[in-house]
């Protein structure tokens, strides 16, 4: 059973990936400081998988604490690095917080990987590295544009850092950079999902919280874009499909020479905000309260992925639809209400 260090493994994408790792025969060693997740997620992963988990409550920027994990597990076969802050708006208000956490955690992790001869790393990157591409769908060959936020800049810096490590003679870290488009949905069990603290910035949790009566109304940010119905287009990908790509990426790293390769992870299809709302209403049977509003500063008009490279080289493709993702997101919201799980 290959042991894989999973930083941020209690978070939204990390928890779903831990489930997929276990069902594919890997043993995740989870490290999380629970700054944006709850310790109870660990038990929920155990319930879904019927396996006991090894987990550590520590901060990945703390080299002494993280070294202990490497000491405890000299047989680590690789790492997946999810741990980071991810709120674009907050990163504009508090850039240092983002530079410190997102860049230092990767520096500490890669230093320890070198020291302990752990070669393979899967890194959580983001479509935000592209800005507004001129040609759609966006491929990995599309040139990056200047980052629109400190958060986006941290992803560009981390990608560059890993690229440099893959070529250096004295560095051994080989990496796959996974550029996620818009991850949504939840595990079909309803036991794990996205749990934003405070008022959600992202569309789907805002929709489900509004439908559940926790928010009065959703504001659709902009109705005058050059898209089919005037609202922004994004590539919404089910988090379970996304999680499965991490397993494929680990296998790819194990089978190939040292590298630093980027892959888009999306469905290849763009949907407008209004299409998402209509689909949500259809699958939930709930009429959503929403109003058209001003554009949100910093939003790109439209972006969706070409996932051809991941289809071809990782032998991965999405299997779940927007309907599936919104059904699971709604089921997750209803389960949260049932169990009163907002702060456990």
> Which residues contact ligand WQD (rule: CB under 6 A)?
86, 88, 126, 128, 182, 201-203, 206, 218-221, 232, 234, 273, 296, 299
Q: Distances from the Cα of 328 to the Cαs of 193, 284, 321, 335, in angstroms?
A: 9, 10, 11, 10
CA dist., res. 130 & res. 92, Å (int)? 18
Strands 27-32 and 3-7 turn out to be parallel
Cβ distance 73 to 5 under 8 Å?
A: yes
Q: Which is nearer to ligand WQD, 12 or 56 (CB)?
A: 12
Structure tokens at 312: 């071809």
Among 3, 4, 6, 8, which residue interacts with ligand NAD (rule: CB under 6 A)? 8
Q: Which does 219 bind (CB under 5 to 8 A by kind): ligand WQD, ligand NAD, none?
A: ligand WQD
CA dist., res. 301 & res. 59, Å (int)? 36
How many residues of this chain bind ligand NAD (CB under 6 A)? Answer: 27
CA dist., res. 237 & res. 315, Å (int)? 17
Among 3, 11, 20, 80, which residue interacts with ligand NAD (rule: CB under 6 A)? 11
Name the phi and psi angles at 291, rounded to 5.
-140, 150
Structure tokens at 236: 């919404």
- Smallest distance from ligand WQD to CB 182, Å: 5
Among 26, 70, 82, 225, which residue interacts with ligand NAD (rule: CB under 6 A)? 82
Site for ligand NAD in 126-165 (CB under 6 A): 126
Cβ distance 202 to 196 under 8 Å?
A: yes
- Smallest distance from ligand WQD to CB 22, Å: 25
Q: Would residue 151 show up in a list of annotated catalytic residues for this protein?
A: yes
- Smallest distance from ligand WQD to CB 222, Å: 6
Cβ distance 154 to 99 under 8 Å?
A: yes
Q: Which does 273 bind (CB under 5 to 8 A by kind): ligand NAD, ligand WQD, none?
A: ligand WQD
Q: Which is nearer to ligand WQD, 70 or 304 (CB)?
A: 304
**Residue nearest to ligand NAD according to CB distances in the complex:** 11
- Smallest distance from ligand WQD to CB 96, Å: 19
Enclosing H/E stretch for 76? strand 76-81
Q: Taking CA 162 as the corner, what is the angle to CA 159 and CA 163, rounded to the nearest 5 degrees?
A: 85
Cβ distance 329 to 192 under 8 Å?
A: no
**Selected catalytic residue, list 130, 151, 180, 206:** 151
Span near ligand NAD by CB under 6 A; candidates 53-61, 204-212, 275-283, 324-332: 53-61
Count, residues in the chain = 344
Under the criterion CB under 6 A, does residue 280 sit at the interface with ligand NAD?
A: no
Residues making contact with ligand NAD (CB under 6 A): 7-8, 10-14, 31-37, 59-61, 82-84, 86, 101, 105, 124, 126, 180, 183
Catalytic sites, residue numbers? 151
């Amino acid at each position: 059973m290959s042991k894989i260090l999973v930083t941020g493994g209690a978070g939204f994408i990390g928890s779903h990936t831990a489930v997929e790792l276990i069902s594919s025969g890997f043993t995740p060693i989870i490290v999380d400081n629970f700054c944006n997740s709850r310790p109870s997620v660990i038990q929920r992963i155990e319930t879904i998988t019927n396996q006991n988990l090894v987990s550590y409550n520590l901060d990945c920027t703390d080299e002494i604490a993280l070294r202990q994990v490497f000491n405890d597990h000299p047989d680590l076969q690789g790492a997946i690095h999810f741990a980071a802050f991810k709120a674009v708006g907050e990163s504009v208000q508090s850039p240092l917080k983002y530079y410190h956490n997102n860049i230092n955690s990767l520096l500490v992790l890669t230093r320890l990987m070198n020291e302990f001869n752990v070669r393979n790393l899967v890194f959580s990157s983001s479509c935000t590295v592209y800005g507004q591409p001129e040609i759609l769908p966006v491929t990995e060959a599309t040139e990056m544009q200047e980052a629109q936020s400190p958060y986006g800049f941290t992803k560009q810096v981390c990608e560059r850092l890993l690229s440099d490590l893959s070529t250096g003679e004295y560095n051994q870290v080989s990496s796959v950079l996974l550029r996620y488009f818009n991850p949504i949905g939840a595990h079909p069990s309803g036991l794990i999902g996205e749990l934003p603290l405070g008022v959600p910035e992202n569309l789907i949790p805002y929709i489900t919280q509004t439908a559940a009566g926790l928010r009065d109304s959703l504001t659709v940010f902009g109705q005058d874009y050059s898209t089919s119905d005037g609202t922004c287009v994004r590539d919404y990908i089910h988090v379970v499909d996304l999680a499965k790509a991490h397993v494929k990426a680990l296998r790819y790293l194990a089978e190939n020479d040292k590298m630093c390769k980027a892959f888009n992870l999306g469905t290849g299809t763009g949907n407008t905000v209004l299409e998402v709302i209509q689909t949500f209403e259809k699958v939930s049977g709930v009429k959503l309260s929403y109003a058209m509003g001003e554009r949100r500063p910093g939003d790109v008009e439209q972006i969706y992925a070409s996932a051809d490279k991941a289809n071809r080289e990782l032998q991965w493709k999405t299997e779940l639809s927007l309907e599936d993702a919104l059904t699971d997101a709604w089921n997750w919201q209803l389960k949260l209400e049932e169990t009163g799980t907002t702060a456990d």
